[in-house]
């Protein structure tokens, strides 16, 4: 599902730059929009859990239906449910493209994938939510390697996390292993335990 509308609405709602961009409006105004944005409100337990869930949805740009599927899939695994859910989100193709520094935002990464500019093990994949398996090679098409947005992203983005290997010259990378919880570079602190409680 494509997310249309204001890019930073959720950032303003929670008062944190969920988009990860330094020019996010939430950095200047870390409170909700509207005339009552700065008012002090008592937050219920339900709302605390809801906000954590909405933060995670906004960070990865997934729909509510997708989010519920990730939760249900995570409950079937032996590990910690919250960590497993993050691991699944982190190994989505659009997220891997973002972490490798081929794009600066989730939207840019998703567009690269959706427009068939990304190859996984030599084959074009245009489904942003496709799961990347350990050992898979992700690269851009020769045409996409010369995109100005890709070149800019490669210059300004930090090195990828430890579970990814990147070759800047070839504009390619490999998911070497599954990510550990403390290696996932989330733009804001997140308590996935509260998200699990929200759904359970």
Same domain, 98 and 164: yes
Same domain, 98 and 171: yes
Alpha helix positions (H), 34-78: 45-60, 64-75
At residue 134, the pLDDT reads 95
Same domain, 57 and 128: no
At residue 1, the pLDDT reads 45
At residue 9, the pLDDT reads 67
Mean pLDDT, rounded, for 187-199 = 90
Higher pLDDT, residue 20 or 184: 184
Would you say residue 4 lies in a domain?
Answer: no
CATH of the domain at 190: 1.10.1050.10
Higher pLDDT, residue 32 or 191: 191
For residue 174, pLDDT over 90 is answered with: yes
For residue 11, pLDDT over 90 is answered with: no
At residue 26, the pLDDT reads 55
3-state secondary structure of 139: strand
Same domain, 101 and 164: yes
Q: Output the CA–CA distances (angstroms, integers) from residue 118 to 2, 81, 94, 112, 122, in the order listed.
A: 18, 30, 9, 7, 9
All residues at 6 or more sequence positions from 69 whose CB lies less than 8 Å from its CB, including other chains: none
Confidence of residue 41 (pLDDT cuts 50, 70, 90): low
Integer Cα distance of 46 and 166 in angstroms: 41
Same domain, 104 and 62: no
* Tens-digit pLDDT profile for residues 53-105: 988 988 898 999 999 999 999 999 888 999 999 999 999 999 999 999 999 98
Interior CA angle at 137 toward 21 and 99, to 5°?
A: 10
Would you say residue 3 lies in a domain?
Answer: no
CATH of the domain at 122: 3.10.290.10
CB atoms within 10 A of CB 70: 22
Mean pLDDT, rounded, for 134-163 = 94
At residue 127, the pLDDT reads 95
Interior CA angle at 158 toward 161 and 63, to 5°?
A: 65
Same domain, 79 and 145: no
Same domain, 83 and 49: yes
Higher pLDDT, residue 85 or 45: 85
At residue 13, the pLDDT reads 65
Interior CA angle at 58 toward 115 and 165, to 5°?
A: 60
Same domain, 27 and 77: yes
Confidence of residue 51 (pLDDT cuts 50, 70, 90): confident
| Number of domains comprising the chain | 2
3-state secondary structure of 192: helix
Same domain, 14 and 67: yes
Residue span of the structural domain in which 73 resides? 9-34+42-88+185-199
């Amino acid at each position: 599902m494509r997310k249309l509308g204001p890019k930073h609405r959720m950032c303003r709602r929670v008062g944190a730059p969920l988009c990860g961009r330094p020019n996010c409006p939430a950095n200047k105004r870390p409170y909700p929009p509207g005339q009552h944005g700065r008012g002090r409100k008592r937050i219920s337990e339900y709302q605390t859990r809801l906000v954590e869930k909405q933060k995670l949805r906004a960070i990865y740009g997934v729909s509510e239906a997708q989010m519920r599927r990730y939760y249900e899939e995570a409950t079937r695994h032996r590990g910690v449910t919250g960590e497993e859910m993050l691991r699944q989100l982190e190994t989505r193709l659009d997220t891997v493209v973002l972490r490798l520094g081929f794009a600066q935002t989730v939207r840019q990464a998703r567009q690269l994938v959706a427009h068939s500019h990304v190859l996984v093990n030599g084959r074009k994949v245009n489904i942003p939510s496709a799961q990347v398996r350990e050992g898979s090679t992700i690269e851009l098409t020769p045409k996409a390697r010369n995109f100005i947005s890709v070149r800019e992203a490669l210059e300004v983005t930090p090195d990828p996390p430890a579970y990814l290997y990147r070759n800047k010259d070839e504009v390619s990378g490999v998911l070497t292993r599954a990510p550990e919880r403390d290696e996932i570079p989330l733009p804001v602190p997140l308590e996935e335990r509260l998200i699990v409680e929200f759904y359970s």
